[in-house]
Amino acid sequence: MPATRGDDPRRPERDPYRYLLVLRFALLNLVGFALLGAAFVQGLVHRALAADRTYLTALIFLVFLGGLAVCARRVWQTSRELNGLRASDPAGGSAVMAHLAPFLGRTAESRANLAGAARLRLSHRIAIVRNIANTLVLLGLIGTVLGFIIALSGVDADRVADVAAIAPMVSTLISGMSTALYTTLVGAILNVWLMANHQLLAGGTVKLIAALVERAEDHARD
């Protein structure tokens, strides 16, 4: 009986979970941007931007987009390497072989040490996403401090008894408090969003390390 296309031993087995990490990343951020779109329609985005005199809210969002772009690149890279390691012949990908080559021809103890080194190297590769997420919180805290400075700068203790001076002081106080609260809120929300992506990427990295160790053991037994 002639071999069918799926029975060809030279053809890598098709993985039904190829690019699952990319699909999860896309779904997560689709939900995130849908919620952001809903906030925009409700006028919340415009309100946050208009209330921030320091423009830190816009800066925080731009930093978030940069972190999300870095995360997307790492997710795509990790997913491709996972696919290469799960394939029947990983030699087709230079990135896969770069990870796998140090394990070839090593003793069991050496492979264990190299697995630890690979774990550190791959963890360091995704650390930039976590660092950018932490930066969002720091920028939000800076906005909080600047907001309080703006709020208190309009308060003049010598003129509190002047009725005509009360309105400008209250206006400056409200403006400063709005800056403080909105920058803190935006920084915290975007930090949670980016950290969710980081956790997704970290899970993919753990699977990549496990697949790398399994492939190295398979080569050692051959």
Residue 110 included in any domain: yes
What count of Cα atoms within 13 Å lies in the side-chain half-sphere of residue 12?
14
The pLDDT, as a whole number, for residue 188 is 96
Identify the burial level of 62 via C-beta atoms within 10 angstroms of its C-beta, where 0-12 means exposed, 13-18 middle and 19 or more buried: exposed
Q: Would the pTM count as exceeding 0.75?
A: yes
Instruction: Give me the helices (H) in the chain, please.
Output: 20-41, 44-51, 56-86, 94-100, 108-153, 163-221
Residue 5 included in any domain: no
The pLDDT, as a whole number, for residue 12 is 42
Residue 40 included in any domain: yes
Residue 107 included in any domain: yes
Residue 12 included in any domain: no
Range of the domain at 69: 18-221
Phi, psi of 160 (to 5 degrees): -65, -20
Question: Considering its fold, how many domains does the chain have in total?
Answer: 1
Q: Which residue has the tokens 């997307």?
A: 72
Both structure tokens of 198: 């980081």
The dihedral through the CA atoms of 175, 177, 180, 184 has a sign that is: negative
Residue 158 included in any domain: yes
The pLDDT, as a whole number, for residue 194 is 97
Residue 204 included in any domain: yes
Residue 9 included in any domain: no
pLDDT tens, per residue, the chain with 222 residues = 444 444 444 444 455 557 889 999 999 999 999 999 999 999 999 988 888 888 899 999 999 999 999 999 999 988 888 887 766 544 445 566 666 655 665 666 666 666 667 777 888 889 999 999 999 999 999 999 998 888 887 666 566 556 666 667 777 778 888 888 999 999 999 999 999 999 999 998 888 888 777 776 666 665
Please, are residues 184 and 143 in contact by the beta-carbon 8 Å criterion?
yes
The pLDDT, as a whole number, for residue 51 is 85
Both structure tokens of 161: 């008894």
